Amino acid sequence: MSAKERPEPGVRTPVAKPVPPPGPVLTRRVFILGGFWSSMLLAAVGVLGAPLDFVWPRRRAADFGGELIVPADQVPPPGSEPVRFPTGRFYLSHLSPGQEGSPGGVLAIYQKCTHLGCTVPWRPDFQFQDETGWFRCPCHGSTYTKGAAILVFGPAPRPLDLLDVQVKENGDLVVNTGAITKGSPENPLRAVPYGAAASPGAAPPAAGPRFAADGDTFDLGVVPVGETVERSIEFRNAGDAPLAVSILKVRPAPDAACGCGVEGFRVEPASVPAGGNGRLLFDLKAPEGMESMTDKMVAELESNDPAKPTLTITLIFMMGP
Ligand code: FES
């Protein structure tokens, strides 16, 4: 190189950058192995997903684990069906005196099956041992009684568990869903006195079966013409023994406009436990041409209440368009 071609001092020569080494290469073998293990992972999720979902603890609902207030007007009557409170995960049962050997009172029944933890539904239509209405677990069939959730069938090791219940002065209940007592055959004895049972001075229920209803004349509302509808009248058993009521017949009242419209009648249940409720049911259908008329019928009842072996009630309804 002649002096003329030599770079002048102070002129910088560009510096070559190193080429990075080649990255990992996706070979055919790696590709096949990747596909194999991905398939295995998906299969494992498919097989184990459902069982894991079943046993994995759920996030707590906002109201579960703490105290939940049940207003007095949501406490079911004694002897009636249990009522579910989903956020607290329990059923509220109100036992009448003598029911399942209980002195009477309220129980908050935890809905979790004592076998493997499935949620146990109340099945009002489920028939077992000649009775209708049970708690029945859908997973393996454990079956528990209506009032105190006593185990009568299935693989569960014990009755349903109970939650702590306190009664406030105004009749509201405080259910502590974080205080759980293991279920046992003693469940009926753990019922917390409520209502009349909680008032030591209150009059005890009358001896024997006792029919009680809110009056003897009932407005059944509007009955559409040409359409059969069902109407019901509630009654109670205010006594301390099972009450049987039946409807003998329904006839026109002396001042009836038509004396028609009642197509059928029945009583449910056939036997009402002490402190429980029953219903008189009527199938009504207004005949054509009777629109806007008010009709009046008399139902003749008989019962095993020694004070009311027979009685009548009056039904009033308007035949609508
Ligand atoms: S989980 Fe209820 S019977 Fe098995």
CA of 203 to the centre of ligand 1 (A): 42
Amino acid 15: pLDDT: 58
The enclosing H or E element of 167 equals strand 162-167
Amino acid 95: pLDDT: 93
Cα three-residue angle 196-198-201, rounded to 5 degrees: 70
Q: How do residues 279-311 score in pLDDT, each as one tens digit? A: 999 998 888 877 778 888 999 999 999 988 999
User: 176-198 in b/e burial notation, b at 16+ Cβ within 10 A?
Assistant: bbeeeeebeeebbebbbebbebe
Q: CB of 295 within 8 A of CB of 239?
A: no
| Pocket lining: 249 vs ligand 1, CB cutoff 6 Å | no
DSSP 51-63: HHHHHSPPPPPTT
Q: For residue 265, which of 199, 198, 220 has the smallest C-alpha distance? A: 220
Amino acid 62: pLDDT: 44
Q: Please tell me the distance from the alpha carbon of residue 169 to that of residue 203, in angstroms, as a whole number.
A: 19
55, 111, 122, 137: which to mutate for ligand 1, most atoms within 8 A of CB? 137
| Pocket lining: 121 vs ligand 1, CB cutoff 6 Å | no
CA of 187 to the centre of ligand 1 (A): 19
115, 143, 160, 161: which to mutate for ligand 1, most atoms within 8 A of CB? 115
Place of tokens 């009654």: 235
Amino acid 48: pLDDT: 62
Q: For atom 4 of ligand 1, which residue has the closest CA?
A: 140
The highest-level CATH class for domain 67-198 is mainly beta
Which parts of the chain have pLDDT scores under 70? 1-28, 30-31, 34, 44-63, 196-206
CA of 143 to the centre of ligand 1 (A): 9
Please, where in the chain does CATH 2.60.40.10 lie? 211-320
Q: CB of 254 within 8 A of CB of 260?
A: no
Beta bridge partners, 136, equal 143
The highest-level CATH class for domain 211-320 is mainly beta
Structural tokens at position 14? 């560009």
Backbone angles phi, psi at 59, to 5 degrees: -65, 140
The whole-model pTM stands at 0.48
Q: How do residues 93-112 score in pLDDT, each as one tens digit? A: 999 888 999 999 999 999 99
CA of 112 to the centre of ligand 1 (A): 9
Amino acid 59: pLDDT: 42
Q: For residue 313, which of 243, 237, 217, 169 has the smallest C-alpha distance? A: 217
